[in-house]
Each structure stands twice: as structure tokens, then as C-alpha cells.
């Protein structure tokens, strides 16, 4: 066994029982945590976008994750099981089925971000901002503006917070 595997196994087996069966996070707290993550990631994306030249792939990845966390926050607040995938279109659809209100123009921008973040609309290549494709494909550098993403993440988190307070506070 390689040294890294030995160390990892020793760490895994030496963890206190709390790590095996820690307390379950309430729906109320999980919604809040997902919103905190979303706001932290969108703030981090500003630093990546403001560079000259901008760090495009990391910016798409961090911005997409911010949107993903905000949508999952709303889904959680609505009492639904939070999906384990990263497809923003699917997450947006589920959030809207559960009461998220979003403008059509914002929906279009999130679909476009998803094209770069999760699944290419033409080739179905996954995670283009994360990994290079085995085929020559362009990363489209025309991506949603930072101010749009900042606004939409905060708007979704705000709706998640209101839903969470109404449905889950004290549970």
C-alpha cells in the first residue's frame, strides 16, 4: 500500500465515533448553510472575474457552484430532497415546481451558464469548465455578467430564506 493510502486509512479508522454518526442537520439549518455557501462562492467569483486577464474556467466553475448552492437552498427550504447532481437546468426546474419565482431572462442566462458549467447543449460534454474535453470544443467566453449572477444568487437565497422561515423555523 502506498504511503498516502496508509495515512488516509489511519485517519479514517482513528476518527471519533461522532464522524460516523454525527447529528443530522435540520432542514432549516441546511437551507441556511447552502445559502451561506452560495453567497461565499459568488463573492469568490468576483475576485476571479476582476482579474486581468480574467480566469474564465475557474470563474465559470465557482459562479456555477454558487448558483447550484442557491438553487439547492431553495429546494431544501421547500422540503424536497436535495439532488446530488450539478445540472442547473434540472435544479431550476425543480425549484420552480416548488415555488421559486424567476424572470424568463434570468432563466435564459442560467441555461447559458449551465451550458458551460454542467452540460454542453450541443455536444452533451459535461463539466467543460472543470476538465478539458477529449474532443476539440470551444469554451465560449460569452458568459453571464457578474452583476447578473450576484443578483440572481442573492434573489434565490432571499426566496429560500423566506420559504425556510415560513415552513421550517422551529422544526
Read off the pLDDT of residues 103-122 as tens digits, 9 standing for 90 and up.
999 999 999 899 889 988 77
Which cell is 52 given?
A: 486581468
Give a yes or no: residue 20 inside a domain: no
What does the CA dihedral 120, 122, 123, 125 come to, rounded to 10 degrees?
Answer: 0
pLDDT-based confidence at 169, cuts 50/70/90? confident
Our count of domains for the chain comes to: 1
Length of the chain: 171
Give a yes or no: residue 150 inside a domain: yes
Give a yes or no: residue 13 inside a domain: no
Give a yes or no: residue 79 inside a domain: yes
Give a yes or no: residue 11 inside a domain: no
* CATH assignment at residue 45: 1.20.120.330
**Range picked from 12-26, 70-84, 129-143 for highest mean pLDDT:** 70-84
Task: Decide: pTM greater than 0.95.
Answer: no
Give a yes or no: residue 95 inside a domain: yes
Give a yes or no: residue 15 inside a domain: no
Range of the domain at 85: 26-168
User: In which region does residue 25 sit, left (phi positive, over 0), alpha (psi from -120 to 50) or beta (all else)?
Assistant: beta
- The answer to which of 12-26, 63-77, 122-136 has the lowest mean pLDDT is 12-26
Query: Which residue, among 123, 144, 160, has the nearest Cα to 63 in the 3D structure?
Result: 144
Give a yes or no: residue 2 inside a domain: no
Amino acid at each position: 500500500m502506498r504511503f498516502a493510502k496508509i495515512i488516509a486509512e489511519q485517519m479514517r479508522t482513528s476518527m471519533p465515533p461522532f464522524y460516523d454518526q454525527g447529528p443530522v442537520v435540520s432542514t432549516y439549518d441546511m437551507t441556511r448553510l447552502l445559502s451561506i455557501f452560495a453567497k461565499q462562492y459568488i463573492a469568490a467569483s468576483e475576485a476571479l472575474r476582476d482579474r486581468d486577464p480574467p480566469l474564465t474556467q475557474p470563474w465559470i466553475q465557482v459562479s456555477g457552484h454558487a448558483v447550484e448552492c442557491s438553487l439547492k437552498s431553495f429546494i431544501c427550504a421547500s422540503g424536497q430532497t436535495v439532488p446530488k447532481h450539478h445540472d442547473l437546468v434540472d435544479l431550476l426546474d425543480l425549484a420552480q415546481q416548488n415555488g421559486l419565482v424567476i424572470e424568463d431572462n434570468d432563466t435564459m442566462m442560467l441555461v447559458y451558464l449551465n451550458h458551460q458549467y454542467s452540460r454542453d447543449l450541443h455536444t452533451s460534454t459535461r463539466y467543460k469548465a472543470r476538465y478539458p474535453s477529449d474532443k476539440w470544443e470551444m469554451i465560449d467566453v460569452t458568459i453571464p455578467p457578474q452583476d447578473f449572477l450576484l443578483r440572481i444568487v442573492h434573489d434565490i437565497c432571499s426566496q429560500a430564506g423566506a420559504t425556510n422561515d415560513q415552513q421550517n423555523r422551529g422544526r
